[in-house]
A and B are shown apart, each in its own frame.
Chain A
Amino acid sequence: MTAIDLGIPGLTGIPTTDEKQTARDYKSDQEVRWCPGCGDYIVLNTMQSFLPSLGLKRENIVFVSGIGCSSRFPYYMNTYGMHSIHGRAPAIATGLAVSRPDLSVWVVTGDGDALSIGGNHLIHTLRRNVNLKILLFNNRIYGLTKGQYSPTSEEGKITKSTPAGSLDHPFNPVSLALGAEASFVGRALDSDKAGLTSVLRQAAEHRGSALVEIYQNCPIFNDGAFDVLKDADEAQRRIINVVDGEPIRFGREGEYCVIREGFGLAVAKSADVDASDIVIHDASDLNLSFALSRLSTQDLSHTVTGVFRRANRPTYDDSARAQVDAAKAAKEADLSKLLHGKDTWTVVG
């Protein structure tokens, strides 16, 4: 056992290894069966490249997924994994995390899985702050059922199930997670390997629930949904990448910035405002994080990426274990005594 406490809260208690690991070690022997051009491939590759850097024992990493295209993810990771049922992965992973402090538990889910059928489990997991890393692959469409609108599809979307346009107002997943007081919320683009890796690393190192929304392209049923963010020029004007403790500027040479407006935030040209008016990102400030999430619009005219929120609060699984440990320390596990209780009587034969 080469368990080392790295002093990283999110990894405490998980055995580490000195053996060198590579991305190849994390590839399973199963053929990857996503459609050609699917954004899931990039996320899978990024994950397989990133995990070796954590130095954890591979057998102590578990991926739990629900149902949907993205939920095939665990089959392709040479770790432990469970492909569970629709929407329930956070619940199953909670049971695993509560019973096993020595595991790094990741949940892989999609916009349908996490936000439609599994919405309840998602918000309650985030509220409890279970030590899980939840990767929400958001392609704004139902893929595996072949192209119906999802809870993140835009209003009026024409799909197989909505020939006259969808009537649903979409969720902003980051706002939803922050509304549930998630202790860590981040967002990245599938195509931005560096940005995604950075958010994944911070999520892994965070102790508590971490929700990472990943904008992911579905080339079959919703191709190009995020193209405006992938065009170099457009991206400059639209993507607001935030870093804790730094002023929020974006665009070429920091052309744009974020300032306070009313109860929220607004985008301004840096040249038009006093430097002191530019908001400095504070990931521990829930109100600021929420206001940032509101800058992200469904039409992607602005999209905030990076880590919105990272705050310390007790995790459910640590606290549950602490209660069990305290009970064990306070009272011997004497089964016979328990069965006898307070009032017994004896019949003599």
Chain B
Amino acid sequence: MSTETRKLDRVVIRFAGDSGDGMQLTGDRFTSEAAAFGNDLATQPNFPAEIRAPQGTLPGVSSFQLHFADYDILTPGDRPDVLVAMNPAALKANVVDLPDGGILIVNTDEFTKRNLTKVGYDSNPLEDESLERFQVHKVAMATLTIGALEETGLGKKDAERAKNMFALGLLSWMYHRPTEGTERFLREKFAKKPDIAEANVLAFRAGWNYGETTEAFAVTYEVAPAKLNAGTYRQITGNTATAYGIVAAAQRSKLPVVLGTYPITPASDILHELSKHKNFDITTVQAEDEIAGIGIALGASYGGALGVTSTSGPGIALKSETIGLAVMTELPLLVIDVQRGGPSTGLPTKTEQADLLQAMFGRNGESPVPIVAPQSPSDCFAAVLDAARIALQYRTPVLFLSDGAVANGSEPWLIPDVDSLPDLQVEFATDPETFQPYSRDPETLARPWAVPGTPGLQHRIGGLEKQDVTGNISYDPENHDRMVRLRQAKIDGIEVPDVVVDDPSGEAKVLVVGWGSSYGPIGAAARRVRKLGLPVAHAHLRHLNPFPKNLGEVLRKYDKVIVPEMNLGQLALLLRAKYLVDAVSYTKVQGLPFKAEELQDVLADVIKGVSA
């Protein structure tokens, strides 16, 4: 029997297993294969906060979803077309998302009575009728892997551990993926343990051969390369793109970077990445706590470096006081907040957009801070460069609001030409004749950046209110009022690009406004409703403070404005307050990104309501 090959335009695969099963690695490798093949793609990992939750339990399930296509896609996909379940817990936690007719590949070896009981299965779902509506492939992955590795002399336990590569091999065969990259990757990853490297390669090949020879799979699938804009691409996660944006900021400003930070999920990878690039004049300091992290960054900025700090969740609360000091001392500072589920410790590994109002207002006194939010993993690069531009040019702390979905998600990135990146060079003050610590540039209202070591410019700054121009301590009521307004005017006057409205038909009466990582699902939902003949306009905000100058005008053009957010309506609140527009909030706070299909329904209802 020969297998049939079907052509598809897009596929969503989800690998799910125990957190010790190597699902993230498996997903990563499949992603690299798809990228190497030239598909457009988007990924979304989902893993527990515990490093190793009890084996085989529901809280211990880790998954990696990958969406790849022959056209440009915007999201990691709502539901998998293919679910790979390595144990009963992974099946139970994920099967609800698999649509009828979906492909389910199950590692049968783990479906023991004990494991089934552990997750509350009364009977074995592989033996009853509960999975009837799916195309189920039962594969004894562990047994087959151990069998394939018998000759290597590797212990049973070590051999069994390679079963994720068996799964990867099988899926690679099913989707006609290139395999050289994975084999090379495995040999490099386990370079110090050649026997483990070979075992993984063997398991990977065994999975491939299993598909090829067993005739259990009647159909394989092809997804052609996507027609993306010309150029050189790579796959990149949001955290890596953020780190690279900071490296680029160092290069384009010709300033050293000092990252002061404290490890916290999901922001730590920014520290890990930057710590590898000291050759770009980047110093990373793992501080004793969040407060010291930002203090070190601010101290470095005072000394003439670009100070950067990175955090998430409760960490941003701890940094508030120092952000206030940076507002008062008017020094450049980049504050990266990878938002996660809150409040308090909340959901460390899940995503949320609920720090917007804290970024906006979460300090004592009138303490305005610019806010920049990236809309996708690769967009982190350009967005963080822009945040650095604002910090340096306007001498202000800037909050960069990434989130868990953007940080850990990945997609192809059209690598920019380095020479085309913006010039971020700034001048330090040097002239003792004209120097006043709190004089202001007439255009930007920025005060001079006078770094220690500059002859004749000795001066003192600090958190006490400053006298306008001289910067001396001042308790004068009129002066305080003036300074409060000056600091606000400086932030309000920051140059940000106009918001661009996507309305292909030009006939939309409904505008959907989003910010940050909801760009993908909102954009995908807008495409879907347009296909149904319902026009809709989409505006996505990168700059949350100040808002783009044309935003009010844009909002007032439409009969209805709807604002989907992964919080309880924080942007909607700001839009309503500032523009007196009756913006409607659509909110979901489940620690997961929106699904395009749910937003499609929401948008369709609103559009129909407006036309009715």
Contacts and interface: CB of A to CB of B under 8 A. Distances in A.
Whether both chains belong to one complex is answered with yes
Interface of A: 15, 28, 30, 57-60, 62, 64-65, 67, 74-75, 77-85, 88, 91-100, 102-103, 120-121, 124, 320-321, 323-324, 326-328, 330-333, 335-336, 338-341, 343-349
Interface stretch (B389-397, B451-459, B594-602): B451-459
Given A343-B234, A344-B232, A335 B415 contact: no
Nearest to B37: A345
27 contacts: A30-B460, A57-B453, A60-B452, A80-B452, A80-B458, A81-B459, A83-B460, A85-B321, A85-B324, A88-B321, A91-B295, A95-B296, A95-B297, A95-B299, A95-B303, A96-B300, A98-B299, A99-B258, A100-B452, A103-B452, A335-B248, A336-B417, A343-B32, A346-B231, A347-B225, A347-B231, A347-B232
Ranked 10 nearest A-B pairs via Cβ: A95-B299, A349-B230, A83-B462, A91-B295, A327-B278, A95-B296, A92-B299, A91-B292, A124-B288, A80-B452
A349 B247 contact: no
Contacts of B321: 85, 88
Chain B facing A: main interface SS? mixed
Given A80-B452, A98-B285, A103-B452, A340 B462 contact: no
A15 B455 CA distance: 11
A110 B274 CA distance: 35
A340 B304 CA distance: 29
Contacts of B227: 347
Interface of B: 32, 35-36, 38, 181, 225, 227-235, 244, 247-248, 251, 256, 258, 260, 277-283, 285, 287-289, 291-293, 295-305, 307, 321-322, 324-325, 329, 415-418, 452-464, 472-473
A75 to B, nearest CB: 5
B460 A28 contact: yes
Given A91-B296, A100-B303, A328-B278, A78 B458 contact: yes
Contacts of A59: 452-458
A128 B532 CA distance: 63
B414 to A, nearest CB: 8
Nearest to B228: A347
B460 A91 contact: no
A343 B460 contact: no
A332 B299 CA distance: 27
A348 B230 contact: yes
B302 A95 contact: yes
Among B230, B292, B305, B418: residue with most chain A CB under 10 A: B292
A1 to B, nearest CB: 10
Given A98-B296, A324-B283, A338-B244, A346 B260 contact: no
Contact of A95 (B281, B298, B454): B298
A12 to B, nearest CB: 15
Nearest to A28: B460
B35 A345 contact: yes
A65 B325 CA distance: 13
Contact of A85 (B234, B302, B325): B325
Nearest to B282: A324
Among B279, B281, B418: residue with most chain A CB under 10 A: B279
A131 to B, nearest CB: 13
Among B228, B300, B452: residue with most chain A CB under 10 A: B452
